[in-house]
Chain A
Amino acid sequence: MANLKLRDIKKSYGKTEVIHGLDLEVLDGEFCVLVGPSGCGKSTLLRMIAGLEAITEGSILINDERVNDVSAAKRGLAMVFQSYALYPHMTVRQNLAFGLENLKLDKDDIEQRINKAANQLRMEDYLKRRPGQLSGGQRQRVAIGRAIVREPSIYLFDEPLSNLDAELRVATRVELKALHARLGNTMIYVTHDQVEAMTMADKIVVMHDGIIEQTGSPLDLYNKPANLFVAGFIGSPKMNFLDCSSLPEEIKKLSPKGATTFGIRPEHLRIQDENTLSLQVKTVEQLGSDSYLYGETIDKQEISIKLNSQTTIKGGESVKVGFSQSDTHWFNEKGASL
């Protein structure tokens, strides 16, 4: 059990600074997801926490102890890698035992921990196989198992689901969440997929270009995005942004002072006549339960709508859409939320 604090963390490769002073606090037992587009520095941050990457400036505290100069081996963390990084020449059992042997645990203890993890992750059947003989999902389990047997204070996950197919990804997501509930350990999870972040996190940290854009619970981020970036990043399809100047008077009058951009989520748009925007539908996607309409306003600004039902609207038609005032988001010219 452990909490983690980052104080003004900076990371430079030569003269290029990739992380510009981060502060973050992860509470004991929290499931914290670092999310952001690729290249935002989230993996680098995770590797710095793990001790695989040197910290240029700032300090990392685990349980309020500075661990900057503690080697990866001694920080007591465990990491699940994107490629799983299983030792290909060892059997699953040996893979699990490797870390424990390095910690010089006695054999019975190792055996017991492996059996427990194997039982938890339902991988007793292939303990004697090598990673090369396992499917993607099984490898994933082994990689998680390797972390579990270590009984670390903090689990680190580096995009662990990105190599799985869609179906398995959803299943594993649920399993991971259940695992967290069962173990109750602090977990830090890196992903670029906002759906994973929304579904799993206690706390989401949205990163962009080496800084934290916003930290908060999934619904906080969804309901009250701090800025344009977070608003656009969280939610699928992404939030519609319209230039305030191009809005019809009827809507413009709702805007707070200083607003330059108007945002509205696709699922908050309805076909109605009140607070309306007219738009030309380009394409329609029917998913059975929902439908997505993609269209343009008169001045060619793109807009998407999610309807919670099937629809008869076809591409090329003009429709009028409206929304309730409580669902609107307004941003000033710096992109900050108003």
Chain B
Amino acid sequence: MTDVIKFFTRRQGKKKASLTDWISYGFLFLGFLIIFLPVLWLVMNSVKSQFLLQKYDTNFLPMDYERIARATTYGPDGKDILIMKDLEPWVMFWKNLSDDERAEKDVVNYIKNFSGNEYYALRSHFGLVSVMAKDLILSQNLPDWLIKYPSMFPSAKKEYDPQAIVDSLVDEDARLLSEYLGLKPYKPNGFTAQILVSMMDPQTGELVEYSVSRINPTKDTVNARLVSNPKGGITKLPQNEIIINKNLKPSWINYTDPLTKKALKSFDAVRCLNNSVFVTIVATLITLLINSMAAFALSKYRFNGQVIFFVIILATLMVPASVLIVGIFKMVTMTGLSGSLWGVIIPGAATPTGVFMLRQYMLTIPDELLEAARMDAASEWTIYWRIIFPLALPAIAVLGILSIIWRWNDLILPMIAVSTTKAAYTIQLCLLDFNGEYLAREHYALAMTVVSLVPTTLVFVFLQKYITTGIASTGMK
């Protein structure tokens, strides 16, 4: 730790920090921010709740708004808009809960705490209308066709007269059945979570609460509804005068749900990470071995066609990877590697960049060392394994880091090779699962993206130490 402090307080030699020091540290800090801020932003967003993400919340911290529910009900008195405060979070986000979580809640008894329009709104919100209506139809021995009535075609509906049955029931039951059947004046009730804001009343100086569906910081005004009089319609409030009540509330379920398989049936974090770790480690080992052997031959042996081979290898650097997609796909399927992790590992094992980098580094290893080893009765393999490989370790470590990052972040090759086999999905393919066609699960995707960054970061931290020791050991005169 003292070393770190010493490192970061180094100066040009003078007692006081000079202008150069200021500029250097400023520049370093700026560079650090440019690299680090996007990552930090990702991390902070990954603990924001789905609600916040859907509202395009731009706060740095996962500050949750004070929530409020706005409900719309329809009845004999016409449309009613009401605002419900102090509801529990699970009520607000009922629609996002999984079936298991829903099953845990005793909603039937819960809504008994409410009355009037609030009761009706929550009843619709929890999806209890059809459940209770069917119970009613069965218990009252009402005709069976009533159950199918809501899903009938309009032409078929004409043959029945549900109104007569409704009229025969008592008030509450009549309302329930009407809501179920969608008879006028009943329409489906609405229920949405909104943001609670407040503003000073310009005349009285009192705080007045408003309900807001979305806050767009790029606009000057916010569309709001008075909490005390929700039916009074929408007023535009000036953005800079409203007070938003926020609490720091990180949404850990973004992490816990996918990791415990609660988020998505098809997403198994352990399996995805396992696959990625396997691919990354095995592919990197193969890459390092093959590339360093090729580089050794190209840098230390003289043979016919040496230059041609080297030029061909370099030339492949200039072929864009996307051009090769079809070729690799054919190769993978024809060799029977499709759907297997080896189909991801093998096509990328030889990288021209790696061969080039290692060759250039190995050129700096003096030939005399090899000759000394030959005099020491070393076989060519021994020379490679005991002399060249350890001496090229700094370059090999760099290639190792690069290879790990390439392999871990690779999406194209897994898509080509294993996209048909769920069991072989790597983490990057798995993350795609969260981009459903109808459902947005950015909160899970963001959180799992952060999880997928952890291994590469750790690898870099540990291998970085290796690079410096590698350089230090090259004590060649």
Contacts and interface: CB of A to CB of B under 8 A. Distances in A.
Interface in A124-178: 130-133, 136, 139, 146, 150, 163
B371 interface: yes
Contacts of A136: 477
B314 to A, nearest CB: 26
A211 interface: no
Interface stretch (A34-42, A97-105, A306-314): A97-105
B371 A52 contact: yes
Given A81-B368, A81-B371, A132-B473, A89 B390 contact: yes
B23 interface: no
Interface string B384-413: 001100110100000000000000000000
Interface stretch (B104-112, B218-226, B326-334, B373-381): B373-381
B154 interface: no
Interface in A63-120: 71-74, 77-79, 81-89, 98-99, 102-103
A99 B377 contact: yes
Interface string B156-169: 00000000000000
Interface string B343-384: 000000000000000000000001011011111111100100
27 contacts: A47-B371, A50-B371, A52-B371, A72-B375, A73-B375, A73-B376, A73-B378, A79-B371, A79-B375, A81-B368, A81-B371, A81-B372, A83-B366, A83-B368, A87-B387, A88-B474, A89-B393, A89-B473, A99-B375, A99-B376, A99-B378, A103-B377, A131-B476, A132-B473, A132-B474, A146-B372, A150-B376
Nearest to A129: B475
B377 A102 contact: yes
Contacts of B391: 88-89
A71 B386 CA distance: 19
A146 B377 CA distance: 12
A146 B476 CA distance: 17
A130 B477 CA distance: 12
Contacts of B476: 88, 131-132
A146 B390 contact: no
A88 B475 contact: yes
List the 9 closest pairs (A to B, CB-CB), nearest first: A132-B475, A99-B376, A85-B372, A73-B377, A85-B368, A102-B377, A72-B374, A89-B390, A88-B475
B375 A102 contact: no
Nearest to B475: A132
A98 B386 contact: yes
Nearest to B386: A98
A133 B375 contact: no
A71 to B, nearest CB: 8
A51 B377 CA distance: 11
A77 B477 CA distance: 24
Contacts of B366: 83, 85
Which of the listed residues B382, B387, B474, B477 has the most CB atoms from chain A within 10 Å of its own CB? Answer: B477
Given A89-B473, A99-B375, A102-B376, 4 more contacts: A73-B375, A74-B377, A89-B474, A98-B378
**B contacts with A: majority SS:** helix
A133 B472 CA distance: 11
B375 A78 contact: yes
Interface of A: 47, 50-52, 71-74, 77-79, 81-89, 98-99, 102-103, 130-133, 136, 139, 146, 150, 163
B372 A88 contact: no
A247 to B, nearest CB: 50
B475 A102 contact: no
Contact of A133 (B379, B382, B387, B475): B475
Contacts of B474: 88-89, 132
B473 A83 contact: no
Contacts of A163: 477
Contacts of A82: 368
Contacts of B387: 87
Contact of B373 (A47, A84, A98, A130): A98
Contacts of B386: 98
Which of B366, B378, B379 has the largest count of A CB atoms less than 10 A from its CB? B378
Nearest to B390: A89
B473 A146 contact: no
A78 B366 CA distance: 19
B371 A85 contact: yes
Contacts of A81: 368, 371-372
Nearest to B473: A89
Nearest to B477: A83
A22 to B, nearest CB: 21
Contacts of B374: 51-52, 71-73
Nearest to B393: A89
Contacts of A51: 374
A146 B378 CA distance: 14
A2 to B, nearest CB: 16
B366 to A, nearest CB: 7
A132 B374 CA distance: 22
Given A102-B377, A150-B376, A88 B371 contact: no
